Amino acid sequence: MSTLTTSPAEIASSNASLRAFLHGLPGVDRVGADQRAAMLGTRSIKTTAKAQAIDLAISMVDLTTLEGADTPGKVRALCAKAVRPDPGDPSVPKVAAVCVYPDLVERAVDALAGSGVKVASVATAFPSGRSFLDVKVADTRQAVQAGADEIDMVIDRGAFLAGDYRKVYDEIVAIRQACARDAASGGEDAHLKVILETGELATYDNVRRASWLAMLAGADFIKTSTGKVSPAATLPVTMVMLEAVRDFRDRTGRVVGVKPAGGIRTTKDAIKHLVLVNETAGDDWLTPSLFRLGASSLLNDLLMQRQKMTTGRYAGPDYFTLD
Amino acid sequence: MFEYAPAPESRDIVDIRPSYGLFVNGEWVDSLGDERAKTINPASEEVLAEFAMADDADVDRAVAAARKAYESVWGRLPGRERAKYLFRIARIIQERARELAVLESLDNGKPIRESRDVDLPLVAAHFFYYAGWADKLAYAGFGRRTADGAGFADPRPLGVAAQVIPWNFPLLMLAWKVAPALACGNTVVLKPAETTPLTALAFAEICRQADLPPGVVNIVTGAGATGAALVAHPDVNKVAFTGSTEVGRQIARTVAGTGKKLTLELGGKAANIVFDDAPLDQAVEGIVNGIFFNQGHVCCAGSRLLVQESIEEELLAALKRRLGTLRLGDPLDKNTDIGAINSAAQLDKIKELSEAGEQEGAERWSPPCPLPDKGFWFPPTLFTGVAQSHRIAREEIFGPVLSVLTFRTPAEAVEKANNTPYGLSAGVWTEKGSRILWMAERLRAGVVWSNTFNRFDPTSPFGGYKESGYGREGGVHGLEAYLDV
């Protein structure tokens, strides 16, 4: 793809120019995209490749709890699991991050201090995003102040579907600014993951446009879903987003990560996603810093399959901790 | 780097006999002659089995068995009874699909992913589809009025069908030929290609398993001489051939004036046309599937890429990146995308034409792609800077070699696409619906795919214009070739 000749700010200078750019991206043919994703889903990952994939997948998990019933105790337990997924086997890698609601960030930060596991917080009136911009900005700031390393924001799908791309863009830019940590505190800015909620965008053309919109506005990651809307992460949607980050790097040089979230429950699902990354964006993206799996129950299935590979037997579910 | 460990499909599931006879009148018989040949695995050059090269007397015996079965049983059987056998065959094929897929990949060299996910499902689908027609022929549009004018009577079958099939889709081409012939009430003598006889011989076993009356399906193995004897046999009523245009011409000459009904499905040099408003990632997949599916051993392969000049650079960059991810190697590995070339002779032909392409000034490119030491292999290859006058733009290569040409306007795309002696298929990539229809009206090709390529379905007729042959196989149209209408 040719290099971008105009800067993101120029492209976003008006809603009309933003629209012209996004609608000028090549379309996505649904039948063809579904076929390609299904074909990649038939890849057979066995023996050494499977062992490698399982450990990689564990290290990419954003272990998530996003319930109204979340308590400090629940978060503490989840953090313990994140650092030491299998108490009986220290060779199991730790997960990438724990993902919680903003008011529980502090608990997670305490529990994970020094572990290397990141704390991610959803923000911006998650999951619907239907609130006022200053509320969303304040929501983000407080989460960052509480110590969140990563912010998972939602885009304004209503504005996107109404064609007001500029509003979506401006909001991402504002949240990105709210992710900044002041220099005095010495901390890095929080990384920004932008949730597109692809289940509500419905078409693959929209997924591609929203991906570009988020990347132009400065997203560090683009994420499929909140997990609260069905369908959440599907293989073809993740594939379209991987194509977007691949093309974005070609045209701008900047590398953006991808996070499918919601509905990834089995090792098989996780491995299919890794194959998709490998054969779409390329193996540069096969690292927790550029690819995450937003999940909760997935981790135990990964652990179960991992143990099966080393012992040759499946242990019952009671041999894996429920946190 | 994420390397996929080998994931080979087990070959224990297939049981290949060391030696095969001919399948005549429901029995395995020895050839009356003594000429024999060997079929090898093109990925390893290992001998798989020995088989008979049927001579004139063998062909005569097989045609006589087919005639007898036609006159005494099959031609008189009501359609709903014929349907029962066809449904039974279809179900047995599904039950034995894994075994047949492995056998096909061993004998042909195609990746197991394709034989498992494309060939075998389509084979079963063809038998199911034509089984459904067997008792409804009166309503297929070819029916005769009954004497009282109140309804339709079944159209009549032709008699004995001589069928000669190629090596690129051995079992699928058998299904395309045998299913409609049997559904319409004909009996069959089929000759598979000499490099890929094994799945046809396995099909003979399936006929026995399905209790198909003896003589309804007869299978004679052999090379060109056997095929020539079969199509020239005076007691044959119908000839169906899929293969090269050159052999198709010889058959047309043999059959001319005999009253035998003839369908020919021959070569192709299809244009895959990509407009600047195409869904780019899917177009890249379509180009790959168009020319690298089955190592390019596909008569309707999209071997000429016609790309709108304004997006040539962008599309080629994306295409080259994609070719870098193709996995060439062991056909039985479930992750293989490109298998072995079917024979040494075919490999020589591909090499010869590729060298001609370079000599004529086109630029050759292949991704880094180590080839196995044994067996017949050719890397995925594309030529840029190709002109209409180059041999690689005019002649069918029948291998994983893509010629890239450019066009400026829709009219020029049509002109270049049609500027070939062939006319089997074409592809159009654009998000503009009206342009798809405009193009389809003007392209002289039997199949025009839009925003997809190499998609097959038993309900859809398939066949060519010009030197790509005549007659249609598949769909309701495919019945006509096997009925006296």
Cβ separation B279–A32 shorter than 8 A: yes
Q: Is residue B325 part of a domain?
A: yes
Q: Is A263 left (phi over 0), alpha (psi -120 to 50) or beta?
A: left
B371 CA: distance to closest CA in chain A (Å): 21
CB spacing of A44 vs B7 below 8 angstroms: yes
Residue A287: count other Cβ atoms within 10 Å of its Cβ.
14
pLDDT confidence bin for A184, thresholds 50/70/90: confident
Nearest-CA distance from B432 to chain A in Å?
A: 11
Q: Which of the 8 DSSP states describes residue B115? A: I
Token readout for B206 is: 């399936």
Interchain contact B281–A (C-beta under 8 A): yes
Rounded mean pLDDT, A71-77? 97
First to last CA, chain A: 46
Phi first, then psi: what are they for B193, rounded to 5°?
-70, 155
Q: Cβ contact (<8 Å) for B282 and A28?
A: yes
Residues B247 and B297 in one domain: no
CB contact at 8 A, B443 and B417 = yes
Closest CB to B117 among A32, A42, A278: A42
Question: What tokens does B403 get?
Answer: 């010629």
Residues above pLDDT 90, as percent of chain A: 93
Distance, in Å, from the CA atom of B89 to the CA atom of A297, rounded to the nearest integer, reads: 44
Chain A: give the shortest CA distance to residue B477, in Å.
27
CB proximity A284 to B under 8 Å: no
Mean pLDDT of the region A162-188: 92
Interface contact flag, B4 A49, Cβ < 8 Å: yes
Q: Evaluate if residue B1 carries a pLDDT over 80.
A: no
pLDDT band at A1 (very low <50, low <70, confident <90, very high): low
Mean pLDDT of the region B25-43: 97
Does residue B479 surpass a pLDDT of 80?
Answer: yes
pLDDT at B150 over 90: no
- The percent of residues in chain A predicted with pLDDT above 70, rounded, is 99
Binary contact (B2, A29; C-beta < 8 A): no
Residue A136 neighbours by CB under 8 Å, 6+ apart: A123, A124, A125, A129, A153, A171, A174, A175
Q: Which residues of chain A are within 8 Å of residue B281 when distances are taken between CB atoms?
A: 26, 28, 32-33, 36, 243
Which one of A34, A44, A245 would you mutate to disrupt binding with B, by most B Cβ within 10 Å of its Cβ? A44
| Separation of CA A66 from chain center | 14
Flag if A43 and B3 touch (Cβ within 8 Å): no
Same domain, B136 and B63: yes
Instruction: Please give the mean pLDDT across all residues of chain A.
Output: 96
Residue B9 placed within a domain: no
B317·A1 Cβ contact <8 A: yes
Region at A147 (left for phi over 0; alpha for psi -120 to 50; beta for the rest): left
Place of tokens 């997203």: A219
With a cut of 80, say whether residue B349 has pLDDT above it: yes
Contacts of B258 (CB under 8 A, 6+ apart): B234
The answer to whether position B6 is within a domain reads: no
Alpha-carbon A103 to chain mean position: 20
Is residue A136 annotated as a catalytic residue, yes or no?
no
Residue A42 to residue B334, Cβ atoms within 8 A: yes
In order of A2, A11, A239, B191, the CA distances from A5 in angstroms are 9, 10, 26, 61
Q: Tell whether B169 and B280 lie within a shared domain.
A: no
Cα separation of A81 and A300, whole Å? 10
Among the partner-chain residues A32, A42, A49, the one whose CB lies closest to the CB of B5 is: A49
Residue B144 has pLDDT above 80, yes or no: no
d(CA B231, CA B261): 11
Q: Omega into A231 within 30° of 0, i.e. cis?
A: yes
pLDDT digits (tens, 9 = 90+) for B274-295: 999 999 999 999 999 999 999 9
Cβ within 8 Å of residue B428, ≥6 positions away: B273, B275, B435, B436, B439, B440, B443, B448, B449, B450, B451
Q: Residues 6 or more apart from A109 whose CB is under 8 A from it?
A: A119, A146, A147, A148
What does the pLDDT read at residue B146?
A: 81
Place of tokens 């012939």: B181
Catalytic residue among A223, A269, A272, A301: A223
Sign of CA dihedral A224, A230, A233, A234: negative
Check CB contact of A46 with chain B, cutoff 8 Å: yes
Judgement on whether residues B381 and B407 belong to the same structural domain of the protein: yes
Q: Is residue B12 part of a domain?
A: no
The C-alpha of B280 sits at a distance from chain A's nearest C-alpha, in angstroms, of 6
> Which residue has tokens 């919680």?
A100
Q: Which long-range contacts (CB under 8 A, 24 or more apart) does B115-124 make?
A: B116/B9, B117/A42, B118/B456, B119/B169, B119/B171, B119/B172, B120/B93, B120/B171, B121/B97, B122/B172, B122/B175, B122/B456, B122/B458, B123/B93, B123/B171, B123/B172, B123/B174, B123/B175, B124/B90, B124/B93, B124/B94, B124/B97
Q: What is the identity of the amino acid at A170?
A: D
Cβ contacts (< 8 Å) between B6 and chain A: which residues? Answer: 46
Amino acid at B412: E
The answer on pLDDT for A4 being more than 90 is: no
Is B243 inside a domain boundary? yes
Nearest chain B residue to A251 by CA distance is B314
The number of helices, as runs of H, and strands, as runs of E, in chain A is: 14, 8
Quote the minimal CA–CA distance from A317 to chain B in Å: 28
**B442 is a domain residue:** yes
**Percent of chain B with pLDDT strictly greater than 70:** 100
Interchain CB distance below 8 Å, B2 and A42: no
The CB density around residue A59, as the number of other CB atoms within 10 Å, is 17
Same-domain pairing of B257 and B187: yes
Compute the distance between CA of residue B391 and CA of residue B397 in angstroms, rounded to an integer. 9
DSSP B322-342: HHTT--BS-TTBTT-SB---S
Q: Looking at residue B145, what is its pLDDT?
A: 78
A45 and B CB contact within 8 Å: yes
pLDDT band at A3 (very low <50, low <70, confident <90, very high): confident
The ipTM of this complex is 0.95
Which among A201, A266, A265 has a CA at the least distance from the CA of A236?
Answer: A201
Evaluate whether residue B8 is within a structural domain. Answer: no
Average pLDDT over residues B15-42: 98
Instruction: Tell me which chain A residues have a C-beta less than 8 angstroms from the C-beta of B285.
Output: 32, 35-36
CA B182 to chain centre: 19
For residues B242 and B126, state if they share a domain: yes
Residues B199 and B276 placed together within one structural domain of the fold: no
In chain A, which residue's Cα lies nearest the Cα of B334? A44
Can you read off the two tokens belonging to residue B171? Answer: 């079992």
Total domain count, chain B:
2
Query: Which residues are registered as beta bridge partners of A151?
Result: A121, A192
Residue A61 sits at φ, ψ, to 5 deg, of -70, 130
Side by side, which strands form the sheet with B217-219? Answer: B27-29, B22-24, B217-219, B187-191, B160-164, B238-242, B261-265, B469-470
B2 occurs within a structural domain: no
Residues of B annotated catalytic, as ranges? 265
Q: Give one word for A247, left, alpha or beta, with left for phi > 0 and alpha for psi -120 to 50.
A: alpha
Return d(Cα A227, Cα A208) in angstroms, integer: 19
Average pLDDT score over residue span B420-449:
98
B204 with B323, same domain: the answer is: no
Asked if A152 and A195 touch (Cβ cutoff 8 Å), the reply is yes
**Catalytic: A118?**
no
Give chain A positions within 8 Å (CB) of B2. 49, 52-53, 56, 274, 278, 283, 286
* Phi/psi at B84 (5° precision): -60, -45
Question: Which residue reads 């591909």 in tokens?
Answer: B350
Share of chain B above pLDDT 90, in %: 96
Angle between helices A267-280 and A235-252 (to 10 degrees): 30
Residue ranges of domains in chain A, CATH in brackets: 47-311 (3.20.20.70)
CATH number of B260's domain: 3.40.605.10
Helix (H, G, I), strand (E, B) or coil at B128: helix
Of B7, B117, B277, the CB nearest to A46: B7
pLDDT at residue A109 greater than cutoff 80: yes
Residue B118 has pLDDT above 90, yes or no: yes
Q: Are B204 and B275 within one domain?
A: no
Same domain, B261 and B308: no
Same domain for B325 and B253: no
Question: Which amino acid, residue B180?
Answer: P
Which CATH number do you get for residue B431? 3.40.309.10
Residue from B1, B3, B4 to probe the interface with A (highest A Cβ count within 10 Å): B4
For A131-154, what is the mean pLDDT? 97
- Chain B residue with CA closest to A43: the answer is B335
Q: Is B4 on the interface with A (CB under 8 A)?
A: yes
Q: Do the bridges between strand A118-122 and strand A97-100 make them parallel or antiparallel, or are there none, so unpaired?
A: parallel
What backbone torsions phi and psi does residue A35 show, to the nearest 5 degrees?
A: -65, -45
Q: Does residue A207 have a pLDDT over 90? A: yes
Quote the CA–CA distance of A146 and A19 in Å, as a whole number: 37
Q: Are A43 and B4 within 8 A, CB to CB? A: yes
Contacts of A36 in chain B (CB under 8 A): 281-282, 285
Cα separation, A148 vs B10, whole angstroms: 50
Identity at A151, one-letter amino acid code? I
> Phi, psi (5° rounding) for residue B144?
-90, 150
The crossing angle, in degrees rounded to 10, of helices B245-255 and B224-232 is: 30
Report residue A214 CA to chain centroid gap: 13
Tell me phi and psi for residue B208, to 5 degrees: -70, -40
B150 touches chain A (CB under 8 A): no
The sign of the dihedral angle between the CA atoms of A265, A268, A269, A273 is positive
CA distance A48 to chain B (A): 6
* B142 has pLDDT over 90: no
Give the structural domain span for B322.
Answer: 271-458
Mean pLDDT of chain B: 97
d(CA B23, CA B194): 15
Distance between CA atoms of B29 and B432, rounded to whole angstroms? 58
CB distance A110 to A72 below 8 Å: no
Stated length of chain B: 485
In whole angstroms, give the CA distance from residue A149 to residue A119.
5
Query: Between the CA atoms of B271, B274, B275 and B280, what dihedral angle is there, to the nearest 10 degrees?
Result: 170
What are the chain B neighbours of A35 within 8 Å (beta carbons)? 285
For B259-298, the three-class secondary structure string (H helix, E strand, C coil) is: CCEEEEECCCCCEEEECCCCCHHHHHHHHHHHHHHHHHCC
Q: Is there a single domain that holds both residue B235 and residue B287? A: no
CA A211/CA A229 separation, integer angstroms: 18
